[in-house]
Structure 1
Amino acid sequence: MTARVFIDGQSGTTGLGIQARLEAIPQITLAELPPAERKNPAAKAEILRSVDLAILCLPNAAAEESVALIASLGDAAPRVLDASTAHRVAPGWVYGFPELAAGQEDEIRTAPRVANPGCYATGAVALLRPLVDARLIPPDFPITINAVSGYSGGGKTMIVDFESGHGPNFELYALDLEHKHIPEIVAYGGLTRRPIFVPSVGNFAQGMLVSIPLFLDDLPEKPQAAALHAALAAHYAETAYIRVLRPDNETRIEPESLNDSNDLELRVFASPDQRQAVLVAKLDNLGKGASGAAVQNLRLMLGLVD
């Protein structure tokens, strides 16, 4: 079986990453529009009719326009995988995090429309959802999420700034507390109370750490850190890309060792004496946080063996 795939917005960081990964899959044929035709609705409609699946790597407004165009094609419309933020909590879309819960892979396999997760949300949801489902963290518990990403997550302008030497060594941002990933963290993390999310960017190209501090005695069950680890390990025991690791006396962690992979590592750091813990997710913001996750979802949607 050979499937035809069109990447709408392939010149961006995520689109280029997806293209490179798909070129290594022999069952995939990439359909392309000439640069002069990329904003021509008629030309785009023609290519969309000819493919099995369209991947949208576009700003939100452009993604919504492409989805409207696809919907207008009726029975000739391809399936859609949207890497933008536009449809992650929209009705009729399946969230593209296969490891989220039992049955999520099957939903992605059969869905006509799948929304690829955000990079920060991937780490936060991976940590929170199993612990909420296990009733170790209540849905309305006050949560603070801190995260740092490589500058490649900020798009072309930020990449140019950092690679030309004009970017800072480190900065917090989204301090209006309105980051675009918060709605999906709430929806798919199983939360009913909005968390405080403080993202940051460092002067390195790619890689990501997402951390969630916890006062263990403030949780209703007053769990040991071992119980948090056990719940995460049980949830991801059968997954291919997510590993739950023990810190083994580590007291520091760097963000880049998973670069160029689709892997995600989860750890529970803790001080038993102080009854405090920090949940940490490590991933490549361009891998499991973007292009790698998109290709994982595409394989499920097209029935390709991973």
Structure 2
Amino acid sequence: MTHTVFIDGAAGTTGLEIAERLAGRSEFTVFSLDDEKRKDPAARREALNEADVAILCLPDEAAREAIGLIDPASRTRIIDASSAHRTSEGWCYGFPELVGPDRVADALRVSNPGCYPTGFLALVAPLVREGLLPADWPFTVNAVSGYSGGGKALIERFEADGAPAFRSYGYDLAHKHLPEMKAHAGLEHPVLFAPSVVSAYRGMIVEVPLHLGAMATDPHADTLRDALAAFYADSRVVTVREKAPIGELLLERSAEPWDGLELFVCGNEGGWNARLVARLDNLGKGASGAAVQNLNLLCGLPETAGLRP
């Protein structure tokens, strides 16, 4: 069976990488609108309602507009790569490792996780569920990403003459990823999030530092690592490393596209302090790779088909 897939916003970074991952796959007929029609409501309405699956690679407001163009009786299934619906009622959060692949496979509307939340939630959500980390803890997140996640304007800025080497932002403490992190980790308080961008095109490191000895649950770093390893034991996408990095973790400027997710638990002697670390490709498991993983599930195909986990 061939599934028709409409990419709304195919000219953006996420859309281009999704199309690249689907190229040559006989299970899909992929189409998009040309420049003359991509902002034409009638053309978009027709495409959205005729596709088996529509993938929205759009700014938040445009993604909401796209949903409004879909006939309520339409059986078009949606994967929204924007942040517009990540905490919305009636949407499945498209993180199969956390919500279960069957739930994604059965969903009509799937909201793709954000790149930073993917790293944070992969580390924290299973440990909160197990009661190893307290839901009322004041979590902090330090993260660095390649500049491709910032869209065309940021890409142009980092690739221009005199480009910055490092960009730190989010100083209003109101980043759009905060509700998503809190909701899907089951936390009582918003996280304190410190994001930044470096002069590498792709790649991301997300870190959650923890003072374990100050927690009433009194966890140990080794216990956290073992719990994560058990949680992701059957995953072909998420790997929990048995050992902490030796010396350093790197983001390479020449990194190839990658759809996996690596998790590390680094503990001090005694294990009472820890640094939980996730490494991923912000355009892979953080965006386009995750969308294709969800698409595979929606269409009853092997979860990692066409991916590089």
TM-score surpassing 0.5?
yes
Contact 1:207 / 1:259 at 8 angstroms: preserved in 2?
A: no
Q: Is 1:163 the equivalent of 2:144? A: no
Q: Which amino acid aligns with 1:114?
A: V
Q: Partner residue of 1:42?
A: 42
Instruction: Return the offset for 1:43.
Output: 1.4
Q: Could you say what secondary structure the match of 1:227 adopts?
A: helix
Inter-partner Cα distance in structure 2 for 1:180 and 1:244: 28
Aligned to 1:31: 31
Letter in 2 for 1:129: A
Structure 2: how far apart are the matches of 1:105 and 1:258? 29
Q: Which residue of 2 aligns with 1:238?
A: 234
Corresponding position of 1:267: 264
Question: What code does the residue aligned with 1:281 have?
Answer: A
Does 2:58 correspond to 1:58? yes
Superposed displacement of residue 35, structure 1: 1.7
Q: TM-score, normalised by structure 1?
A: 0.95
Give, in angstroms, the shift of residue 192 of structure 1: 1.2
Give the counterpart letter for 1:266 in structure 2. Answer: L
Quickly say closer, same or farther: Cα 1:174–1:281, change in 2 above 3 A. same
SS in 2 for 1:6: strand
| Segment of structure 1 superposing worse, 166-175 or 254-263 | 254-263
Question: Mean alpha-carbon deviation: is it higher for 159-168 or for 81-90?
Answer: 159-168
**1: CA distance, partners of 2:218 / 2:12:** 46
CA distance in 2, matches of 1:246, 1:254: 18
2:134 is aligned, of 138, 154, 160, to: 138
Deviations, residues 256-303 of structure 1 (Å, cap 9, x unaligned): 497411100000011124731100000000000000000000000111
For residues 1-306 of structure 1, what are the structure 2 equivalents within 5 Å?
A: 1-70=1-70, 73-101=71-99, 104-248=100-244, 250-256=246-252, 259-273=256-270, 275-305=272-302, 306=305
**3-state secondary structure, aligned to 1:48:** helix
Structure 2 residue matching 1:4: 3-state secondary structure? strand
Cα distance 1:228–1:258, how it changes in 2: closer, same or farther (>3 A)? farther
**RMSD over aligned Cα atoms:** 1.5
| Residue type of the alignment partner of 1:291 | S
Q: Give the aligned residue type for 2:88.
A: A
What is the Cα deviation at residue 198 of structure 1? 0.3
Mapped contact 1:136–1:220 kept (Cα < 8 A): no
- More displaced 10-residue stretch of structure 1: 283-292 or 159-168: 159-168
Q: 2:75, 2:245 → 1: CA distance?
A: 53
User: Number of matched residues?
Assistant: 302
Q: What TM-score does the superposition give when structure 2 sets the normalisation length?
A: 0.94
Relative to structure 1, the CA distance from residue 249 to residue 25 in structure 2 (aligned partners, 3 Å threshold; closer, same or farther) is closer
Deviation sequence 1:117-138 (CA, Å, 0-9, x none): 0000000000001110111111
Cα deviation code 1:90-124 (max 9, x no counterpart): 110000000014xx211111111000000000000
Structure 1 stretches of 4+ moved >6 Å: none
User: CA 1:45–1:30 in structure 2 vs 1: closer, same or farther (change >3 Å)?
Assistant: same
Paired residue type of 2:284 = G
Q: CA deviation at 1:171?
A: 2.1
1: CA distance, partners of 2:229 / 2:7: 35
Shift of 1:249: 6.1
One-letter code aligned to 1:299: N
Residues in 2 aligned to 1:249 and 1:146: alpha-carbon distance in whole angstroms: 17
Q: Could you tell me how far apart the structure 2 residues matched to 1:22 and 1:78 are?
A: 19
CA distance in 2, matches of 1:248, 1:195: 24
| CA deviation after TM superposition for structure 1 residue 248, in Å | 4.9
The residue type equivalent to 1:156 in the other structure is K
Counterpart-to-counterpart distance in 1, 2:109 and 2:244: 41
Which residue identity is paired with 1:39?
A: K
The CA distance in 1 between the partners of 2:244 and 2:3, in whole Å, is 45
CA distance in 2, matches of 1:21, 1:108: 19
Unpaired segments of 5 or more residues in structure 1? none
* CA shift in 2, pair 1:280/1:302, >3 Å: same
Q: For the residues of structure 2 that align with 1:271 and 1:157, how far apart are their CA atoms?
A: 41
Kindly tell me: are residues 258 and 105 of structure 1, through their superposed partners in 2, closer, same or farther at Cα, counting changes over 3 Å?
farther
2:217 and 2:43 map into 1 onto residues whose CA distance is 58
Is contact 1:79-1:113 (8 Å) kept?
yes
Secondary structure, counterpart of 1:261 in structure 2: coil
The 2-side partners of 1:10 and 1:161 are apart by 21
Gaps spanning 5+ residues in structure 2: where? Answer: none
| Segment drifting more, 179-188 vs 164-173 | 164-173
For 1:229 and 1:31, the matched residues in 2 are separated by 43
